[in-house]
């Protein structure tokens, strides 16, 4: 090999070493980057401390599930406080149903306003089975043409069934359901369930002599 060729190979050797050096460096760091915005995302990481949109507080006036309403009645009345977290204090069984009957008082009286509100809820949620007047003849039970409806379990008349029941027990049954009647705690809020107790007792004629209340219900008769 002459010196010319030697030099040539030496040059190639040095060049290869240099390339190896460059490659070695780039394995440790990416070197210069053409479009840094794309290599390093500017998006905020969800839980990063510096993320102004990360773990943000709920919007002002957000009401969490089971939160008590702010009116004074709700903050004071044990019955209402329990009924907003009902399933924590009373389970779906007969012992707790009886206990609710003893421990919980209906925070509402069957006044005109209470019955008027309850009627709105009742006609939407209950009348389809129990019937508008609580006779167990809702449209799911008996069709308008008189034939048997889709629902086979005939609800009892309130006048019979509610006679021996305490308000808390009735509340319990509306909350959790009873046999073929489903639970209503998800679609009727707690204070409306108490108002329903007033209303269905009124339908069953079990509220005693509450003069204004009776007139209120009469005025809704068709
Ligand atoms: C899908 C039909 C259906 C709907 C809707 C329904 N019920 Fe009932 N309800 C029944 C049946 C059936 C029974 C009888 C259950 C049993 O004792 O076997 C019953 C029983 C009851 C009882 C007696 C519970 C007990 O412990 O003896 C009450 C009180 C009652 N319903 C209230 C309501 C109220 C208030 C609503 C509306 C929020 C409502 N129901 C919605 C079908 C229904």
For the ranges 23-32, 114-123, 179-188, the one whose mean pLDDT is highest: 114-123
How does DSSP assign 140-180, residue by residue?
Answer: TTB-TTSSB-S--SPPPPHHHHTTT--HHHHHHHHHH-BTT
54 in any annotated domain: no
Q: Is the pLDDT of residue 66 over 70?
A: no
pLDDT value of position 88: 87
Confidence class of residue 9 from pLDDT cuts 50, 70 and 90? very high
Please say whether the beta carbons of 107 and 68 come within 8 A. no
Q: What is the pLDDT of residue 216?
A: 43
Global pTM?
0.71
CATH classification of the domain holding 166: 1.10.760.10
Encoding tokens for residue 81? 């406080």
Residue 106 lies in a domain: yes
Residues with CB under 6 A from ligand 1: 125-126, 128-130, 140, 151, 153, 155-156, 161, 170, 173-174, 178-181, 184, 188, 196, 200
Query: How many independent structural domains does the chain possess?
Result: 1
Q: Tell me which residue of 166, 179, 161, 172 sits closest to 97, measured CA to CA.
A: 172
Cβ contacts of 87 within 8 Å, gap of 6 or more: 185
pLDDT digit string (tens) for 123-156? 999 999 999 999 999 999 988 888 888 888 889 9
The rounded mean pLDDT for the chain is 84
For residue 102 the two structure tokens come to 């003893």
Report if residue 134 sits inside a domain. yes
Exposure pattern of 168-191 as b/e (b: 16+ CB <10 Å)? bbbbbbbbbeeeebeebeeebebb
Closest Cα to atom 37 of ligand 1: 126
Place of tokens 């799911």: 140
Structural contact between residues 164 and 201, judged by C-beta atoms closer than 8 angstroms? no
Query: What integer pLDDT is reported at residue 27 of this predicted model?
Result: 61
Q: Which domain holds residue 151?
A: 72-220
In a domain? residue 64:
no
Nearest CA to ligand 1 atom 29: 170
Within-domain flag for 36: no
Q: Do the domain assignments include residue 39?
A: no
In this structure, is residue 38 part of a structural domain? no
Neighbouring residues of 104: CB distance < 8 A, sequence distance ≥ 6: 78, 79, 82, 83, 167, 168, 171
Residue 49 lies in a domain: no
| pLDDT of 221 above 50 | no
Q: Whose CA is nearest to atom 34 of ligand 1?
A: 126
| Mean pLDDT along residues 49-58 | 70
């Amino acid at each position: 090999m002459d010196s010319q060729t030697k030099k040539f190979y030496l040059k190639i050797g040095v060049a290869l070493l240099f390339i190896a050096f460059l490659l070695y460096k780039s394995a440790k760091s990416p070197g210069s980057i053409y479009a840094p915005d794309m290599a390093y995302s500017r998006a905020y990481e969800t839980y990063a401390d510096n993320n102004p949109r990360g773990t943000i507080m709920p919007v002002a006036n957000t009401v969490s599930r089971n939160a008590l309403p702010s009116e004074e009645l709700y903050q004071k009345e044990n019955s209402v406080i329990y009924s907003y977290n009902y399933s924590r204090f009373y389970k779906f069984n007969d012992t707790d149903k009886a206990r609710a009957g003893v421990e919980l008082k209906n925070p509402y009286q069957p006044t005109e306003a209470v019955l008027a509100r309850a009627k709105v809820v009742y006609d939407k949620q209950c009348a389809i089975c129990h019937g508008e007047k609580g006779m167990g003849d809702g449209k799911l039970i008996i069709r308008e043409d008189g034939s048997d409806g889709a629902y086979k379990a005939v609800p009892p008349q309130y006048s019979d069934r509610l006679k021996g029941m305490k308000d808390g027990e009735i509340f319990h049954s509306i909350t959790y359901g009873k046999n073929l009647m489903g639970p209503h705690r998800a679609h009727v809020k707690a204070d409306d369930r108490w108002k329903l107790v007033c209303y269905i007792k009124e339908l069953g004629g079990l509220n005693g002599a509450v003069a204004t209340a009776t007139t209120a219900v009469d005025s809704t008769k068709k």
